[in-house]
Amino acid sequence: MNIVDSHIHIWDFEKARYSWLKNDTSILSRTYSLEELEEERKEAGINAGVLVQAANNFDDTDWMLEVAKKNDWIKGVVGWVPLQDPEYTAKVLEGKYLSNPYFKGVRHLIHDEPDSQWLLQEEVLESLQILADKNIPYDVVGILPEHIETALTVAEKVPDLKMVFDHLNQPPIQEAAHFGRWGELMEQAAQHPNFYMKISGMGTTSGKPDNWGRYDIFPYVEFALDTYGVGRCFCGGDWPVSLLAGSYTYSWKNYKDVLQLLLHPKEQEKVLSENAAAFYNLNLK
C-alpha cells in the first residue's frame, strides 16, 4: 500500500531563520536534514512525502524546493508567501513559484501570531482569494478553538479556497474531552466541502510524550473520519517535531493501527495516500 507523509519538516539554521526556535532548548534546536529520515521512512513504508514550511520567509521555502528537487520521494512543498501583501503575493507566485513543479500549497505560522484572527485581515483575505483562484490549497496550523472560528469565517469569505486543518487543530486529547468546543466547531467546518483534516501531530498533542498509543488518539481519528468522511482525511508524520513524543516509526505505527481498526483496506489507501495526492495535486508516478 502506498503511503504519503503529507507533513514533513526540515530546517537548516544556515539556510533560513526560524524565529520560533530561537530560545528552544529541546531536541528540536538543531539542523534537521532529510537524509536523517531516510532509514526510518523506509521502515515505516513511506514512499512519498510533502515538505511543509517551518518559517515565515522565502529562505525556508526556497530551501525546501531545492531539497525536493534532489529527492525523488518528495513530491511537493507547502511553502510561504507574504499574505499581508497581496500584490507581492501575486507577483511571487506568477514570477517564481507557480512554475516550480514542487510548489503545492501555502502555510503561515498563524499559531505564533498574537491575534487568533490574523487570517481575517483584508489584505490576507485578498491573498487567500488569489490562492483560491490559482487552485493552491492552504494549511491551517491552528491550536485554539478560535483558530477554527477564524477558518470558518475565511471559508465564508473565500468559499473556493481548499483548506486542511494541520494536526486536527489540536483536539482535546489531554482533557479526554469527547469532544467539547473543538468538536462543535469541527462539525461546523465539515459542512464546508473544502475543509479537510490532516491526521498528524497526535503524539505531541496527547500530552503523554512517553507513553501515548493508538487508544489515546482513536476517538479523535474516528471523529475526524466520521465527520469529514474517508475522502477528506489524510495523514502526516510531523517529523522532526514528532520526535518529542517518540520515533517516526512509532508515530506511523499508531496511525496505521488506528486506521486498520476503523477502515477497510481500500478506505485506508484513500486516507494514507490518495487523498493527500488529490489535495496537493501530487504526481506519485
pTM: 0.97
Q: What is the dihedral of CA 4, 54, 137, 148, to 10 degrees?
A: 100
Cα separation, 5 vs 48, whole angstroms: 6
Summarize pLDDT for 192-244 with one digit per residue, the tens: 999 999 999 999 999 999 899 999 999 999 999 999 999 999 999 999 999 99
Per the rule left: phi > 0, alpha: psi between -120 and 50, beta: everything else, 281 is left
- CA gap 160, 85 in Å, rounded: 20
Beta strand 74-79 pairing with 4-8:
unpaired
Q: Which residues of the chain have pLDDT under 50?
A: none
pLDDT of residue 49: 98
Q: What is the pLDDT of residue 73?
A: 98
The H-or-E segment that residue 79 falls in is strand 74-79
Q: Which residues contact 210 (CB under 8 A, 6 or more apart)?
A: 245, 246
Reported as type and span, the H/E element at residue 15 is none
Domains of the chain with bracketed CATH: 4-280 (3.20.20.140)
Nearest CA to 240 out of 248, 249, 230, 231 is that of: 248
Cα angle vertex 116, ends 114, 120, to 5°? 115
Q: What is the phi-psi region of residue 86: left when phi exceeds 0, alpha when psi lies from -120 to 50, beta otherwise?
A: alpha
Instruction: Give the number of other CB atoms < 10 A from CB of residue 158.
Output: 21
45: left (phi over 0), alpha (psi -120 to 50) or beta: left
The pLDDT assigned to 145 comes to: 98
